[in-house]
């Protein structure tokens, strides 16, 4: 990413973080409107605490954009934990959409095409690292534990995204 794109993200995120409770609530609202089935992945009743984790994680990711290489192993481990939460590859696109919608609603007209492009690119990079690690972990897992599904299992699988 270009330096000025990272600066745009850092500055805009600082503003969002200052209103993190509202921003997190807005994010989950958008996410569950996009895909109501995702609700069941979040076992925790405490969405406020979950929102806090999300904003802390975003803060870490935003803070590491200038040294992304060093963060790759952290993202990979995070991605493998997400496989355990039941997160599937397609969910990354939904979360990306919910994130961009949240920012767009939050900033309104100040969410310029340039700012949108910077956030879209950053999320794409982070999600790309996580998706690759998740795919690798899933491919290596034994059948029935998130590993390659047998043909019958595919047909019988409930709609979990
Ligand atoms: C940039 C991508 C993402 C980041 C940085 C991120 C970050 C986090 C963090 C920090 C946690 C706390 C637990 C832990 O550290 O393992 C978490 C939990 C979780 N995330 Fe994500 N996440 C991302 C993408 C996603 C996606 C695509 C989904 C799919 C809907 C998702 C669903 C969940 C769920 C279900 C939990 C566990 C909730 C519980 O405690 O029951 N995340 N995430």
Give the pLDDT band of residue 141 (cuts 50, 70, 90).
Answer: confident
- Residues 78-113 as b/e (b if ≥16 CB within 10 A, e otherwise) read bbbebbeeebbeebbebbbbbbbbbbbebeeeebee
Above 60 in pLDDT, residue 98? yes
Q: Check residue 154 and give its pLDDT.
A: 42
Q: Check residue 161 and give its pLDDT.
A: 43
Above 60 in pLDDT, residue 160? no
**CA–CA distance, 88 with 83 (Å, rounded to integer):** 7
Note the CATH architecture for domain 3-141. Answer: Orthogonal Bundle (1.10)
Query: If you average pLDDT over residues 60-77, what whole number do you get?
Result: 94
Q: Which residue has the higher pLDDT, 42 or 7?
A: 7
Whole-number average pLDDT of the chain: 88
Above 50 in pLDDT, residue 9? yes
Q: Please state the atom number of ligand 1 nearest to the C-alpha of residue 57.
A: 10
* Nearest CA owner, ligand 1 atom 8: 54
Ligand 1 contacts (CB < 6 A) are 38, 41-44, 50, 53, 57, 61, 78, 81-82, 85, 87, 91-92, 95, 126-127, 130
Task: State the DSSP H helix or E strand holding residue 97, giving kind and residue range, or none if neither.
Answer: helix 89-107
Q: Which of 3-17, 38-52, 133-147 has the highest mean pLDDT?
A: 3-17
Give me 51's structure tokens. Answer: 């929102």
Which CA distances in Å does 23 have to 36, 46, 156? Answer: 19, 16, 38
Above 60 in pLDDT, residue 144? no
Q: Check residue 140 and give its pLDDT.
A: 79
Give me 17's structure tokens. Answer: 């973080």
Query: If you average pLDDT over residues 41-51, what whole number do you get?
Result: 84
């Amino acid at each position: 990413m270009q330096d000025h794109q990272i600066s745009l993200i850092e500055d805009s995120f600082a503003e969002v973080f200052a209103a993190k409770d509202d921003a997190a609530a807005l994010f989950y609202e958008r996410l569950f409107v996009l895909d109501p089935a995702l609700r069941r992945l979040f076992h925790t009743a405490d969405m406020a605490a979950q929102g806090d984790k999300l904003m802390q994680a975003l803060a870490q990711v935003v803070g590491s954009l200038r040294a992304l290489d060093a963060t790759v192993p952290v993202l990979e481990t995070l991605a493998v934990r997400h496989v355990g939460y039941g997160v599937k590859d397609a969910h990354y696109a939904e979360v990306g959409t919910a994130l961009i919608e949240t920012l767009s609603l939050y900033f309104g007209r100040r969410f310029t095409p340039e700012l949108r492009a910077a956030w879209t690119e950053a999320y794409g990079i982070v999600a790309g690292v996580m998706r690759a690690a998740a795919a690798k972990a899933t491919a290596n897992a034994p059948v029935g534990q998130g590993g390659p599904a047998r043909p019958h299992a595919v047909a019988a699988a409930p709609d979990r995204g």
